[in-house]
Amino acid sequence: MAASTLAQVAQLAGVSPATASRVLNGSARIPGPEVAERVRSAANELGYVANAQAQSLARSSTGLIGLVVHDIADPYFSTLARGVQDYARGAGKMVLLASTNGTPSEEREAVAAFAARRAEAIIIAGSRSTQAQDQQANKELASEIQRYCRFGGSVAMVGATFPSLAEMPEVRVLKVPNFDQARELAQSLLRIGYTSFRIVAGPQGLVTSDHRVAGFHDALAQSGISSARVSRVEFSREGGYEAGLSIAAELQDQPSPSATGTECIFAVNDVMAMGVIAGLLERGVRVPDDVGVAGFDDVETLRDFRPSLTTAQLPLELMGAQAVALALGSIEDDPLRSVVGHVMLRGSTRSSETEQAT
């Protein structure tokens, strides 16, 4: 006879698998006596045998937090990781890091590895993918997260989650205003006189990139300007560089590329924007005299770059701290689960008198 499962116990008791796990695996967060009794009765009726590893995770405090990022060499993730590290240290926790190249299959492996090491909480930072080739891996990642949470773990996801996890209280989301900040950036660029735009974006289906493109286009539409031309490239400095070379060739084919200086290129992250500027300058296109360039994130380690980059600023270190607080259950109110950023107008766009101090 096949062994009964925790899900079957939960169904018979009329509770969630997470609640059943808390009762049967010894968590300190046990629900009320009536609910606990229903779970134990269901377990006895089905002959359920508790998982020893799950009991160990539920009963003990390992002091470990798992952090999953796409690429620790990317200053976006390294800055966010610093915020995670600083907050975790103050809470008496140790951070385990996995850099996954942004694939959901590698993220699933990282979650499983952290679960095996009995991490108390896991933070997953990085864009979700809606690309067809990632759908099966997305399902497997979501299932791995569900399994980890059933055994007493909790997860904070930076930016977005999966629909199948949306109702799980153990999975908390730190909302990042990618759409709104991109829209505000476009509005600021319109106010300082830009009237023509190009967008250098990541591959279609990369959620972070797509939201930033959509927000930027929304502002243009509200102002009666036709949509910007979008170049889809690798979501990296190298992708931005190749786009910059290509755009430079197009601009130089125009009769007078710097006659008005009213065109601006929006790259959907700062690293890509730096690549765009490098490609433009290599081909003799001046920034911002011939064309403006703007990015997104305001990565601190890139602020000494010249020309200084106009960008949509996100408080990356604070985001890391907030993610730890969410994962550990220290933030419950929805307003504290979101991020507030600002537009920073700097030297890579014209009207330098509007430049703001960092």
- Count other C-beta atoms under 10 Å from residue 26's C-beta: 17
Between CA 297 and CA 316 the distance in angstroms is 8
pLDDT of residue 53: 53
Token pair of 342, please? 């600002």
Token pair of 347, please? 């030297």
pLDDT of residue 300: 85
What confidence category does residue 26 fall into, taking pLDDT thresholds of 50, 70 and 90? low
Residue 67 has pLDDT above 90, yes or no: yes
**DSSP symbol at 206:** B
Q: How many angstroms separate the Cα of 54 from the Cα of each of 13, 58, 245, 357?
A: 19, 6, 54, 51
The mean per-residue pLDDT over the stretch 140-162 comes to: 92
β-strand partners of 80: none
pTM of the model: 0.79
pLDDT of residue 58: 53
Enumerate domains of the chain plus CATH numbers. Answer: 6-57 (1.10.260), 61-174 (3.40.50.2300), 178-313+341-354 (3.40.50.2300)
The mean per-residue pLDDT over the stretch 39-58 comes to: 71
pLDDT of residue 335: 45
Residue 326 has pLDDT above 70, yes or no: yes
Peptide bond into 335 cis (omega under 30): no
What confidence category does residue 186 fall into, taking pLDDT thresholds of 50, 70 and 90? very high
